[in-house]
Structure 1
Amino acid sequence: MTALPDWMRPPRAEGWFAEDLDRLPEAPRHTELIDGALVFRLSPQRSWHGRLVTGLTVALMERAPADVRVGREMTIKLDERNRPEPDLLVTTADFDSVRTWFGPDEVRLVVEVVSPESAHRDRTVKLRKYAEAGIPHYWCIEDEDGSPVVHVYELDEPTRAYAPAGIFRGSLRRPVPFEISLDLDKLTPPRRT
């Protein structure tokens, strides 16, 4: 076994803090911070995942009102020890060239597309953390024989927990966080046989 590079060693005994991510240029792209630990995407994403995220990004951008923006590859600073990077988010904040994260109060919707390596985090850990941070809407998208299935959650403010708001196959219609109507089957091209 080889020694860890110096940049992988936490700067303090308590582990990593959210601001440390901005000081790790050596870290792989899409490095997240969960409970003070760095989380790396170790395996390449499947093409289905990439096509779905791109298709959904474009579809939401086409439908988004002028006061919201759709983004990818940005982290959300949930607190001092958690800075996950969702596959997609909808925010009320402006994008600028130096910004590296959004606060939970600026995010209206978080979307995670489940991959084999992220399944546990997406279905349980992030579900709980996004709700506790007060993000109003969460979509967890699963691959069901090549078709997207969207599990939609809405925040129950008093408990700071998500309540299931529906499971969508084929099409999705939602009035929040803005009026959305999607043909889910068109988000990913059909598989060639």
Structure 2
Amino acid sequence: MGHSLLHQILVSNLVVPVAVAETAGIRSLTGCGVRLADDTWLRADLAVCRGEQCDGERWCVQGPPLLAVEVASPASRARDLGAKKDAYQRFGVPHYWVVDPGGDEPTVRVHELLDGVYAERVRIGPGGRHEVTAPLPIELAHEAIFDESSRWAGHWRGNSMEHTGPDLPSCEEPILVDAFGHRWPTGAEKVELEDGCPIFYGEWDERDVAIAERTYPGRVVRLDQPAGRPGTITILPGPEPAA
């Protein structure tokens, strides 16, 4: 059903300074799809790209952006700091930032691609600030990004997030907001495609796996974390038929 209000606030706190720092031929976009290959389509919370990559007639950014920014959520944090970071690295995205309300304290991690591998240039914690020169000249100040949302970030870290919602109603009944916002696939906060495998971010359990299995018959539906915890469902190719 989309990201939390905290997530949207943190993205908003980055949008204006990034837009102000735009130079000729450079554009910033929020929540945009990024087509990195025919089988890989990721959604960046904020991307900075060359103007020709984001022609208004296209439905997604074509090729690696100059910068990808992810605001970590309970469902996305493991991938944002792991597999998704690896994917951006593999496809040559020069700059990658992670705004992370989780962990011991809220931080901003600034990565730069050096010889094909991300190096963490700086990790900005409370009271910190850092001048970035590429791909845009901008000062990243911790208090400007997190501001009043820091107290929400503490709740984010301490919340068990075990709110997996009601069952879907019978086919004769209307679907109400709580079921719509929790059950797969409409309860997903983000959907991506990596190496030909759809990935759905959210808080899922066995009910959602069962729905996905009916939608993708013959494929393997993998719950990537314990049931009821934030994370992902990944749809994998089915096993090859026995000879």
Shared fold by TM > 0.5?
A: yes
Deviation at 1:72, TM superposition (A): 1.1
* Corresponding residue of 2:112: 154
d(CA) in 2 for partners of 1:122 and 1:187? 18
Q: 2:122 aligns with which of 147, 166, 186?
A: 166
Deviation at 1:185, TM superposition (A): 1.2
* Corresponding residue of 1:118: 76
d(CA) in 2 for partners of 1:71 and 1:44? 17
Q: 1:184 aligns with which of 134, 137, 142?
A: 142
d(CA) in 2 for partners of 1:185 and 1:176? 21
* Greater gyration radius: 2
Retained in 2: the 8 A contact 1:48–1:188? no
Report the 3-state secondary structure (helix = DSSP H, G, I; strand = E; otherwise coil) of the residue aligned with 2:37.
Answer: coil
Retained in 2: the 8 A contact 1:148–1:185? no
d(CA) in 1 for partners of 2:140 and 2:112? 18
* Corresponding residue of 1:79: 37
Which piece of structure 1 moves more, 169-178 or 111-120? 169-178
d(CA) in 2 for partners of 1:44 and 1:178? 28
Paired amino acid for 2:95? H
Paired amino acid for 1:98? E
Number of residue equivalences: 148
Report the 3-state secondary structure (helix = DSSP H, G, I; strand = E; otherwise coil) of the residue aligned with 2:31.
Answer: coil
Distance 1:56 1:45, change over 3 A: same
CA RMSD of aligned residues (A): 2.4
Is residue 128 of structure 1 aligned with residue 94 of structure 2? no
d(CA) in 2 for partners of 1:88 and 1:108? 11
* Corresponding residue of 1:100: 59
Paired amino acid for 2:140? L
Retained in 1: the 8 A contact 2:18–2:136? no
d(CA) in 2 for partners of 1:69 and 1:142? 24
Provide the identity percentage. Answer: 28
Paired amino acid for 2:36? L
d(CA) in 2 for partners of 1:99 and 1:84? 15
- CA deviations on 1:73-107 (whole Å, 9 max, x unpaired) are 211111122101010000112444331112334x1
Deviation at 1:148, TM superposition (A): 4.5
Retained in 2: the 8 A contact 1:151–1:166? yes
* Corresponding residue of 1:90: 48
Report the 3-state secondary structure (helix = DSSP H, G, I; strand = E; otherwise coil) of the residue aligned with 1:100.
Answer: coil
* Corresponding residue of 1:19: none
Retained in 1: the 8 A contact 2:34–2:62? yes
- CA deviations on 1:145-180 (whole Å, 9 max, x unpaired) are 9x74111111123xx221111101332311211211
TM-score (normalizing by structure 1): 0.68
Report the 3-state secondary structure (helix = DSSP H, G, I; strand = E; otherwise coil) of the residue aligned with 1:120.
Answer: helix
* Corresponding residue of 1:8: none
* Corresponding residue of 1:67: 25
TM-score (normalizing by structure 2): 0.55
d(CA) in 1 for partners of 2:130 and 2:112? 15
Any gaps of 5 or more consecutive residues in structure 1? Answer: 1-42
d(CA) in 1 for partners of 2:10 and 2:80? 16
Retained in 1: the 8 A contact 2:11–2:45? yes
Deviation at 1:130, TM superposition (A): 0.5
